[in-house]
Chain A
Amino acid sequence: MRILVAMSGGVDSSVVAALLKEQGHEVIGVTMKLWEGPNGEMPESGCCTASDSEDARKVASKLDIPYYVLDYTESFSKNVVDNFTQMYAQGLTPNPCVECNRSVKFDHFIGQAKKLNCDKVATGHYAKIIKKNNEFELHKADYLDKDQSYVLHMLKSSDLENISFPLGEISKPDVRQIAARIGLKTAFKKDSQDICFVGKKDYRSFVEKRIDLTSPGKIFDIEGNKVGDHNGIHEFTVGQRKGLPGGYGTPRYVTKINVQNKNVTIGEKKDLLVSSFIVEELSCVNDLEYKNLTIQTRYNSEDLHCKIKKLSDTKVLVQLKEPAFGVAPGQFGVIYNGTKVVCGGRISPKVLENIG
């Protein structure tokens, strides 16, 4: 097969390229250039730095495969960075990696691969694709510590048909070992944790540089008493503990952010418990299912037992079996049946109406 491999310069995608080549496939390596500074310079840190594409190039050269850098900056800037800043400005908690996968990476990448007569694209994500009857299902990786099915939930059966995730059955330590065995320079490279376009900088200062966020408002306690003022709702996310008025004896958390009137409500930890919420912009891998479901409300978070009720083609109501903390509007809720991804979408700000 001719396979187009997305190579970030990290150890995972390097090993993917190496494994596929070892299996006898015709491998073409590609680095997607996602982000650059205003003058075209590369960021200093994060996953898209000049040294990362340099690492990818070196791996490709070692494997003796053709290698290219493709420009995705325009789409990334529009779909991911602008969306990120706008969501923060609204007091929501964005997940740029999911946004990037769903509106930048895969569509375009698969399209380019088809044009280049590639049979499949491959990435270094930890997830599994299982063919059942004529459907392609998305499953959690065997190595659950690194499972990335959450950030891939938007892929549909028709996409999965064109994708290969060769690391679905391999553990991270094994990946590093394979890399070392074949002498890849990236074998012991640190995993990237930062948001790729923010890097090591504080994301708030990144957002503040981009849009005017001054939207002063008031802070209330859960009973509706005014307890302070603030300079902008971007300074808060639901669940936040830092920088709030004190003197209560027990810690206070942001429990609610009202985008319309800019009011922020704070309460105790128990006030953050959520038992039901809406997931919108829903995308299903295969047909929607209703039995034996669990949900992750953040990347690689605990699986919470739940039931869902379909509200429309793109919206479901999620009812948790046990109320849970950490349901943040703006993040994605991804629903599983066992290891199988059923569907996922954005947690609606309306979640806040259901507190308590």
Chain B
Amino acid sequence: MKNQDYLYLDHAASTPMRKSAMDKYIEAESYGYANSSGGHKLSRNSKNLLEDSREKIAELLNAAQGEIVFTSGGTEADNWTIKSLFNSERPNDNLVTSNIEHEAVIASAEWVSSNGYRTKYAKSDKNGLVTKDEFLGQVDNDTKVASLMWGNNETGIIQPIKDIAREIKTINPSTLFHSDVVQGIISDNIDFHKNGIESAAVSAHKIGGPKGVGAMFINSNHKLPSFLHGGKQELERRAGTVDVPGIAAFATALEEQQSRFDEEVGLMKNERAIFEEKLKNSLDIEILGDSMNRLPHISNVQFKDLHSEVLLIQLDLNGLGVSRGSACASGAQKPSHVLEAMNINPKFINSHLRFSFGWTTQVGDGNKAAEIVMQAVKEIE
């Protein structure tokens, strides 16, 4: 089957690169291939391209230029903020996060904990929400970093970031509030400053940019110790030759995404609604967080007695690509910690699939996806 005949509903995992971004990448690589740290003309080309991209991204995210540091993606930014502020001079510092975070945050938190610092996990309620009171209840005088994702990557459920950010400083003014907005930015308007987010992880490939490129937003009031050591790139904050073409393509992708935001997200919302409505009317299923405030691109469906491992394969064979929990090294997919955190009936924990719409979603995709699902369910029953 050719890629174009295949319906791709796994945008939460990655998205195709936008044509404009791909063009920009090639253009930038031809024009700005030199090392942006060098002292000659071609390096200046490259450096100019880098700083123009930073300016554009900062403007689109309503941040100052100095607040944007380029990284290899969301995972690096999460690791950086969460790990780098803990040091042996302050052994009583603690970390607060939640039990529904992305693996990049959870594993970083485990690293902090294994180094002897206290790590506290605010718990999700059964609706997939980490409430303000639950989260702030974990924060105390020694909380160095607090981290809560904007919207969950498996359920799409949006967390009360603004409410938490507003009050967290009254408990501990020196706590750094970090948010993984990797999913959020796909389909929600996020202004870091207005929401009180002081550090954030952003990934380019979720919005039609290249893989392996991301940005870290860090409020100018805070300074993080270097995470990668080496050269003096990125104002001495992140060593390593900067991926200028990737960053230029990221800026272009973000620009296009922001300019078409209402249209693209409106489409995701509509197609998801059609998809969910159709499934609800014809199958014994449940939509996770149906009544909750969700990111418009994610639909997590519980198929009751059907094992999603087999359904995933049948969907793939029938031309629909979706995902199930998070993939491990071998590619086997395990029930997710997010569903466990939500106390999903263990009987049904292996019966979930995540369908995620994205910027390439077209009118009719919701209907087509539902048809394929209904056919696959009929086939495997």
Closest to B328 in A: A40
Chain A positions within 8 Å of B39 at CB level: none
Task: Encode B309-349 as 1/0 by CB contact (under 8 A) with A.
Answer: 11011101100000000001111111000000000000000
Task: Encode A36-48 as 1/0 by CB contact (under 8 A) with B.
Answer: 1000111000000
In angstroms, Cα B330 to Cα A73, docked, is 12
Are the CB atoms of A57 and B331 closer together than 8 Å? yes
Interface residue ranges, B against A (CB under 8 Å)? 309-310, 312-314, 316-317, 328-334, 379-380
Are the CB atoms of A50 and B330 closer together than 8 Å? yes
Are the CB atoms of A33 and B379 closer together than 8 Å? no
In the complex, what's the smallest C-beta–C-beta distance from B236 to chain A, in angstroms? 35
Are the CB atoms of B380 and A116 closer together than 8 Å? yes
**A229 interface residue (CB < 8 Å to B):** no
In angstroms, Cα B334 to Cα A115, docked, is 20
How many positions in chain A have a CB within 8 Å of any CB in the partner chain? 20
In the complex, what's the smallest C-beta–C-beta distance from B5 to chain A, in angstroms? 15
Chain B positions within 8 Å of A115 at CB level: 310, 314, 380
Are the CB atoms of A42 and B329 closer together than 8 Å? yes
Closest to B316 in A: A66
Are the CB atoms of B310 and A116 closer together than 8 Å? yes
Q: Could you give 5 example pairs across A and B, Cβ below 8 Å?
A: A28-B317, A40-B334, A57-B331, A70-B332, A73-B332
In angstroms, Cα B312 to Cα A115, docked, is 12
In the complex, what's the smallest C-beta–C-beta distance from A126 to chain B, in angstroms? 25
Within 8 Å by CB of B330, from A28, A53, A112, A117, lies A53
Chain A positions within 8 Å of B380 at CB level: 115-117
Within 8 Å by CB of B329, from A28, A31, A50, lies A50
Are the CB atoms of A117 and B379 closer together than 8 Å? yes
Beyond known contacts A115-B314, A115-B380, A116-B317: 14 more, CB 8 A cutoff = A28-B313, A28-B317, A33-B330, A42-B330, A66-B317, A68-B316, A69-B330, A69-B331, A69-B332, A71-B333, A71-B334, A112-B310, A115-B310, A116-B314
In angstroms, Cα B333 to Cα A28, docked, is 18
Closest to A32 in B: B332
Main secondary structure of the interface of B (DSSP, over half): helix
Closest to B380 in A: A115
In angstroms, Cα B328 to Cα A296, docked, is 40
* Centre residue among B314, B332, B333, B380 by max chain A CB count within 10 A: B332
Interface residue ranges, A against B (CB under 8 Å)? 28, 31, 33, 36, 40-42, 50, 53, 57, 66, 68-71, 73, 112, 115-117
Main secondary structure of the interface of A (DSSP, over half): mixed
Closest to A73 in B: B332
In angstroms, Cα B310 to Cα A112, docked, is 7
In angstroms, Cα B329 to Cα A352, docked, is 46
Chain A positions within 8 Å of B330 at CB level: 31, 33, 42, 50, 53, 69
Are the CB atoms of B329 and A41 closer together than 8 Å? yes
Chain A positions within 8 Å of B334 at CB level: 40, 71
In angstroms, Cα B1 to Cα A66, docked, is 11
In angstroms, Cα B333 to Cα A40, docked, is 11
In the complex, what's the smallest C-beta–C-beta distance from A70 to chain B, in angstroms? 6
Closest to A50 in B: B329
In angstroms, Cα B380 to Cα A28, docked, is 15
Chain B positions within 8 Å of A42 at CB level: 329-330
Closest to A70 in B: B309
Closest to B331 in A: A69
In angstroms, Cα B330 to Cα A50, docked, is 6
Are the CB atoms of A71 and B316 closer together than 8 Å? no
Chain B positions within 8 Å of A117 at CB level: 379-380
Chain B positions within 8 Å of A70 at CB level: 309, 332
Are the CB atoms of A53 and B331 closer together than 8 Å? yes
In the complex, what's the smallest C-beta–C-beta distance from A144 to chain B, in angstroms? 34
In the complex, what's the smallest C-beta–C-beta distance from B254 to chain A, in angstroms? 33
Chain A positions within 8 Å of B333 at CB level: 69, 71
Closest to A113 in B: B310
In angstroms, Cα B349 to Cα A71, docked, is 14
Are the CB atoms of A116 and B313 closer together than 8 Å? yes
Are the CB atoms of B332 and A33 closer together than 8 Å? yes
* Centre residue among A50, A71, A112 by max chain B CB count within 10 A: A71
In the complex, what's the smallest C-beta–C-beta distance from A50 to chain B, in angstroms? 5
* Centre residue among B310, B312, B314 by max chain A CB count within 10 A: B310
Closest to A117 in B: B379
The 6 closest A-B pairs by CB, nearest first: A69-B331, A33-B332, A71-B332, A115-B380, A69-B332, A53-B330
Chain B positions within 8 Å of A71 at CB level: 309, 332-334
In angstroms, Cα B379 to Cα A112, docked, is 12
In the complex, what's the smallest C-beta–C-beta distance from A162 to chain B, in angstroms? 16
In angstroms, Cα B311 to Cα A117, docked, is 12
In angstroms, Cα B328 to Cα A53, docked, is 12
Chain B positions within 8 Å of A112 at CB level: 309-310
In angstroms, Cα B310 to Cα A66, docked, is 13
In angstroms, Cα B329 to Cα A214, docked, is 36
In angstroms, Cα B316 to Cα A66, docked, is 9
In the complex, what's the smallest C-beta–C-beta distance from B322 to chain A, in angstroms? 13
Chain A positions within 8 Å of B331 at CB level: 31, 53, 57, 68-69
Closest to B314 in A: A116
Chain B positions within 8 Å of A116 at CB level: 310, 313-314, 317, 380
Chain A positions within 8 Å of B312 at CB level: 68
In angstroms, Cα B324 to Cα A70, docked, is 12
Chain B positions within 8 Å of A69 at CB level: 330-333
Closest to A72 in B: B332
In angstroms, Cα B333 to Cα A282, docked, is 35
In angstroms, Cα B332 to Cα A5, docked, is 16
Chain A positions within 8 Å of B379 at CB level: 117
In angstroms, Cα B331 to Cα A73, docked, is 13
In angstroms, Cα B329 to Cα A289, docked, is 47
Chain B positions within 8 Å of A50 at CB level: 329-330
In the complex, what's the smallest C-beta–C-beta distance from B213 to chain A, in angstroms? 26
